[in-house]
Structure 1
Amino acid sequence: MRSSTLLSAALAAGAAAATPSRTTVELPRRAEALPAVSASGNAFWANGKRFYMRGIDYQPGGSAANLDPLANPTICRRDIQRFADLGVNTIRVYAVDNAADHTVCMQALNDAGIYLVLDVNNPQYSINRAKPAPSYNEVYLQSVFAVIDEFSKYSNTLAFFSGNEVINHDEGSTQAAPYVKATTRDMRQYMRNRGHRVIPVGYSAADVSDNRMQSAQYFNCGTDDERSDFFAFNDYSWCSPSSFTTSGWDVKVRNFTGYGLPIFLSEWGCITNGRDFSELSALMSSQMTGVYSGGLMYEYSLEENKFGIIDLTKNPVSELPEFGKFKSALSKYPAPTDNGGFVSTTNSVACPTTDSVWDLGSWGPTALPAIPEGAKKYMTEGAGKGPGLDGSGSQNSGEDVHTTASPGSGQPTTTPGSGNGNGQGGAAGHLSPPDFSIFAVTGVVAFCTLFGTLLL
């Protein structure tokens, strides 16, 4: 009789343990971590499916504001609601504070199903196209690697840009190309050496027809450790009313057919004749998906250049007419549901020959600067705390002369460090807190089993 009472009491305790009391505070539900995106063949992939970028460029206040929108939960949550309303799946941010924590905003993006394409540079820490040699140095790379350390933790970090429009119309700007390519090499080596998830790294080229193709070829030539994982460029040649052929986009598809790496538009959206965002009709169609993986519309917030679709200076924030037009275009031209005619193989191309237009200075068509001696320690020790957006800068911290890298020097050189423990194929992310109720139930089962044994 007493044993039966104890057994009944145990079952009652189990029921009580499995049912939350009225005073239990339920934590907010979090979405599972988004599947990490990888580059394979000439396309991007997420969870075994072709991934097309349908995104928007996002840097409130522009570069002059020196603001990291992903380090401020109030700002990012305000804007993520509108990203979700638009229906974008990717945003690009041009500068972040690598000394700040981004957990809240990256989780909010994840919960909204949105990925991040991130520039690792900022105005203080970047390659200076006017004097590239001294700007490629230990201080600069420490800042770059600190960005990687922070954002490789999140599975919705889609890709890194090693440079943005460093090569442009300016005379001599092409001589900065070897230093950007060396940075790309160093970033890829750092991720592998530190045991991080390997996130695609590439370059965002300016809308400059004179050197766009040479840039594309240059970042996809040489040894495997030197080549980019993708190539992107900014394009404003489709000015409505226009079409696939009127804009010249048909030529750009032909030019990049067989390129061997994923390509996307890192900025698009001409404003010359107003905006209807009809570019998406081609970008999401079979006319382009065999070569292009979508793109990022420029831009979210209204700045001095008048490209934005949201006015952040108003209280409350005001949606401009272009907001609704972009939302309608995204709805009208959805992402393809198939593989879009991708090419499964990845291949390099020949390095462009140097001439009066493609001038790489003393480096010639293939040579690259070796990683600065003082930066090698980061490969084994890690970058440590980043300098943030208010550091003293790095552009004059190096030497005017660099040694030449040996081919293949960017391959992993050490046993991967602990990093974030993600490994090469892992997908880091912030998941929901574990549900401990299972342990309570398990404990009751064990308790009942014990008493059942005593009854025998």
Structure 2
Amino acid sequence: MKTINNLALVAATFSAAGVAAAGTPVLAPRASSTLTPITVTGNAFYQGTDRFYIRGVDYQPGGGTGTVADPIADEAGCTRDVPYFTKLGINAIRVYAVDNTANHDTCMNALEAAGIYLILDTDTPKYSLNRADPGPSYNSVYLQSVFATIDAFANYTNTLGFLSGNEVINNVTNTNCAPYVKAVTRDMKQYIGSRGYRSIPVGYSAADVDANQGILGQYLNCGTDDERADFYSINDYSWCDPSSFTTSGWDTLIKNYTGYSIPLFMSEYGCITNKRVFSEVSALYSTEMSAVFSGGLVYEYSEEGNNYGLVTISGTTVTITDQFTDLQDAYANATNPTGNGGASTSTDASTCPSANENWTPTNDNLPAIPSAAEKLMKTGAGTAPGLSGAGSQNSGSSDTESSGTATAGSGTVTSTATASGSSSSSTKKSDGALVAALDMKVFSVVMVMLMGMVGGMVYCRFAFHFLGISVHASWN
């Protein structure tokens, strides 16, 4: 199993970049609108009616320096790198950390123009679950940062999905973190629905731990729909060239996950034990795997002192390596299966696993969302803390920490949702909220006057036009 230069802890906090304070709208950056949003049906991703396979790389230039840099806010860096993404032939990147106080329009729109989607982590070093003591770190200060992340990126149509965690559980001794990971996934899904956003998939990236990776996948897909992950991804380094489908153990992966009812992909892959030539790419996009897996992301784009880089970067100069060329060729030669690739439309939940020597949770009981965080479902996340905030792991109190066990279905979206969720960085009112904000008495008088002056037909046409404007204003 590989550790990612602390990037397992360096995920992403995103700003509620359009919310200066809870419920206070500010100018929003322009959201992308060309790429068709990715949706989930059964165990596969779809772009419209076409099966979508992730062909991508993990992208965090500067991640090896020990500092957190936001590649999506780095306009010069993004402009420098997108042409190489295109040359590589990818359709997705994963980013581990961003600055939620920055504007991301330029890069997100450049990615969109190149046909590239974003898969985004939602933790940062200061705002994350503490695997050594997860209970106190699951608090409203942490969740407010996570929700602000959603606000910042939800309206970009090329945001493919959010990751609720990366390798939080990284051995057999900390599986007690699983209920908290699952609770965060539940809370993120509820926030997305409650704020009126489109249905953006939420999932998790699991460590390369044979003892419990499959059990964790089963656990995150069991229980009520509101708490089940929308997808599951694994970091896997078992295929080390020269290898094969059977030698690597990927055939066992297929056996273990056959019948799994949510999309599954590799959030990191690309062993460097020997010279890697990415022979696994042809297998990953073949019918041997397409009924179970939806592609994957190669680790990683830039060289960060760990020999995994496809390119080296020096200022504005990018130098491609043999690994880049080998992956470029591998992607070019790997054709997606025809039709739906054997995907299943089943949405049946997995059976919740029983406790054993590698797994400590004894049931599917999850912590209840902290009361202060629950209020954000209605008010919105407000101002995000950014990368330099005070942090959340020691921010527990009576209203910020979970007060007990949640009841089944407690994460179901309620009617509190408004179209405020339709903008990635601004709070907008729903149709109902917009009309309610009007003085209805004055509105009625105006309508009566119009009827008297030009007849009922004009009234109907005006009313229809008015409602049309209100819908447009709420959803764009």
Q: Please give the range of the TM-score, normalised by the shorter of the 2 chains.
A: 0.7 to 0.9
1:191-340 matches, cutoff 5 A: 191-313=192-314, 316-340=317-341
Listed one character per residue, the Cα deviations across residues 294-340 of structure 1 (whole Å, up to 9, x for unaligned) are: 00000001012211111113662211111111111111113234210
In 2, Cα distance between the equivalents of 1:411 and 1:344? 22
Describe the shift of the 1:32–1:350 C-alpha distance in structure 2 as closer, same or farther (beyond 3 A): closer
In 2, Cα distance between the equivalents of 1:136 and 1:154? 28
The DSSP-based 3-state class of the residue aligned with 2:295 is strand
2:217 maps to a residue whose letter is: A
How far 1:266 sits from its partner (Å)? 0.5
Gaps of 5+ in 1: 1-29, 424-456
Do the aligned partners of 1:130 and 1:172 also contact (CA within 8 Å) in 2? no
How far 1:108 sits from its partner (Å)? 0.4
In 2, Cα distance between the equivalents of 1:160 and 1:183? 11
1:381-392 matches, cutoff 5 A: 381-392=379-390
In 1, Cα distance between the equivalents of 2:72 and 2:358? 38
1:371 maps to a residue whose letter is: I
The DSSP-based 3-state class of the residue aligned with 1:70 is coil
Do the aligned partners of 2:183 and 2:367 also contact (CA within 8 Å) in 1? yes
TM-score with structure 1 setting the length: 0.83
Match of 2:472 in 1: none
* Equivalent residue in structure 1 for 2:158, among 151, 156, 159: 156
Match of 2:191 in 1: 190
1:53-452 matches, cutoff 5 A: 53-62=54-63, 64-169=66-171, 172-313=173-314, 316-360=317-361, 364-398=362-396, 402-421=403-422
Do the aligned partners of 1:31 and 1:111 also contact (CA within 8 Å) in 2? no
Percent of aligned pairs with the same amino acid: 54
Match of 2:40 in 1: 39
Listed one character per residue, the Cα deviations across residues 15-51 of structure 1 (whole Å, up to 9, x for unaligned) are: xxxxxxxxxxxxxxx9961000011111000111000
In 1, Cα distance between the equivalents of 2:315 and 2:164? 34
How far 1:359 sits from its partner (Å)? 1.2
Do the aligned partners of 1:135 and 1:397 also contact (CA within 8 Å) in 2? yes
* Greater Cα shift, 60-69 or 135-144: 60-69
Structural RMSD (CA): 1.7
Match of 1:12 in 2: none
How far 1:67 sits from its partner (Å)? 0.7
Match of 1:441 in 2: none
Gaps of 5+ in 2: 1-30, 425-476
Do the aligned partners of 2:139 and 2:402 also contact (CA within 8 Å) in 1? no
Do the aligned partners of 1:99 and 1:385 also contact (CA within 8 Å) in 2? no
In 1, Cα distance between the equivalents of 2:196 and 2:63? 33
In 1, Cα distance between the equivalents of 2:236 and 2:320? 24
2:134 maps to a residue whose letter is: P
The DSSP-based 3-state class of the residue aligned with 1:154 is coil
The DSSP-based 3-state class of the residue aligned with 1:56 is strand
2:378 maps to a residue whose letter is: T
In 2, Cα distance between the equivalents of 1:208 and 1:216? 12
How far 1:401 sits from its partner (Å)? 6.5
Listed one character per residue, the Cα deviations across residues 335-389 of structure 1 (whole Å, up to 9, x for unaligned) are: 23421011112110111111231013xxx32100000011111100000121111
The DSSP-based 3-state class of the residue aligned with 1:393 is coil
In 1, Cα distance between the equivalents of 2:156 and 2:402? 37
* Greater Cα shift, 85-94 or 409-418: 409-418
Do the aligned partners of 1:127 and 1:166 also contact (CA within 8 Å) in 2? yes
Describe the shift of the 1:210–1:398 C-alpha distance in structure 2 as closer, same or farther (beyond 3 A): same
In 2, Cα distance between the equivalents of 1:49 and 1:254? 25
Listed one character per residue, the Cα deviations across residues 159-185 of structure 1 (whole Å, up to 9, x for unaligned) are: 11001000012x531111111100000
In 2, Cα distance between the equivalents of 1:186 and 1:31? 25
In 1, Cα distance between the equivalents of 2:106 and 2:75? 6
The DSSP-based 3-state class of the residue aligned with 1:292 is coil
Listed one character per residue, the Cα deviations across residues 221-242 of structure 1 (whole Å, up to 9, x for unaligned) are: 1111110011110110000111
Q: How many equivalent pairs are there?
A: 390
The DSSP-based 3-state class of the residue aligned with 2:294 is strand
Do the aligned partners of 1:133 and 1:398 also contact (CA within 8 Å) in 2? no
1:139 maps to a residue whose letter is: V
2:116 maps to a residue whose letter is: I
Q: Is the radius of gyration larger for structure 1 or structure 2? A: 1
1:291 maps to a residue whose letter is: V
Describe the shift of the 1:31–1:39 C-alpha distance in structure 2 as closer, same or farther (beyond 3 A): closer
The DSSP-based 3-state class of the residue aligned with 1:166 is coil
